[in-house]
Amino acid sequence: MRRTLFSGLMMTTLFQQFKNLEQASIAAVDQIVKSAKSAVSEKGFCTIVLAGGRTPQQTYELLSKPSWADQMPWQQSHFFWGDERWLASKHPDSNFSMAHNALFSKVHIPPRNIHQIPTGHQAPEIGAKMYEKHLRDFFHSKSLTETIRISENTTFPSFDLILLGMGADGHTASLFPGSNFLEEKKKWVTAVKEDAGSPPVPRITLTLPVLNQAKNILFLLSGNKKREILDTVLNEPKKALAYPAAHVKPRENLLWLVAEKD
């Protein structure tokens, strides 16, 4: 395992490489439990955003196992999604469905603590507006420290931990290269029409300002298809500006957990 530590003005970046996804997933689930326990002991609750896609599935399955599940403060832990495909909740490609099958169906977490992105409405834009309202109601019901005021009428939530993946094109959540992801300065949640992702369906995503107000962000990647773009994101800041993943800069810690192979 290779560890590299960079420390910026506010943000510390840690890069850890593993032989395989199982080792990286163990490191990821350890980080989730540590973040949850620390936040709950500090303020009585924690807010964790889950990544979609295939890579985090093993992490969620591990979190459902007694050696980690028994450490989790489920009653005080709130789970959200960084993005969702515009599919039915039970669709096999739904990010909610993957996390439900891998984790939430196996642990004793109150249903009210699972904050699903709604996809059953007539348009993704409506789902995005509904999720944003849900997030605003949730965060405004918590202490003011959980929202960051950027200007007179702009605030953003500050999640304790956001898990993210990265596509081979450098996208993260559902922020895709070539889209207007950098222009969004106010909304917390937006709908993504272009069929850029896989599966090529509309999506709902947290916006970049929301990602960057998180206290901690954990990227979990595996496989060599993403290695080249990861090297660019980590080592070539100018060239990486085209990639949304390169714009992710949380308030405190950015952790990259990278498996050489699946």
- Copy the structure tokens of residue 144: 């003011």
Helix (H, G, I), strand (E, B), or coil: what is residue 177? coil
Residue ranges in contact with ligand 6PG by CB under 6 A: 51-55, 82-83, 85, 95, 165-167, 171-173, 197
Q: Which is nearer to ligand 6PG, 15 or 74 (CB)?
A: 15
Min separation Cβ 169 and ligand 6PG, Å: 9
On whether the CB atoms of residues 45 and 76 are closer than 8 A, the answer is: yes
Per the listing, tokens 């990278």 go with 258
Min separation Cβ 134 and ligand 6PG, Å: 19
Q: Which is nearer to ligand 6PG, 151 or 180 (CB)?
A: 180
Q: Which is nearer to ligand 6PG, 82 or 146 (CB)?
A: 82
Q: How far is CA 69 from CA 6, 62, 66, 119, in A?
A: 31, 8, 5, 28
Alpha-carbon distance 253 to 161, whole Å? Answer: 9
Per the listing, tokens 């039970």 go with 90
User: 49 phi and psi, to 5 degrees?
Assistant: -105, 130
Min separation Cβ 193 and ligand 6PG, Å: 15
Q: How far is CA 150 from the centre of its chain?
A: 21
Q: Which is nearer to ligand 6PG, 44 or 200 (CB)?
A: 200
Min separation Cβ 7 and ligand 6PG, Å: 26
Alpha-carbon distance 63 to 69, whole Å? Answer: 6
Q: Which is nearer to ligand 6PG, 54 or 187 (CB)?
A: 54
Min separation Cβ 110 and ligand 6PG, Å: 25
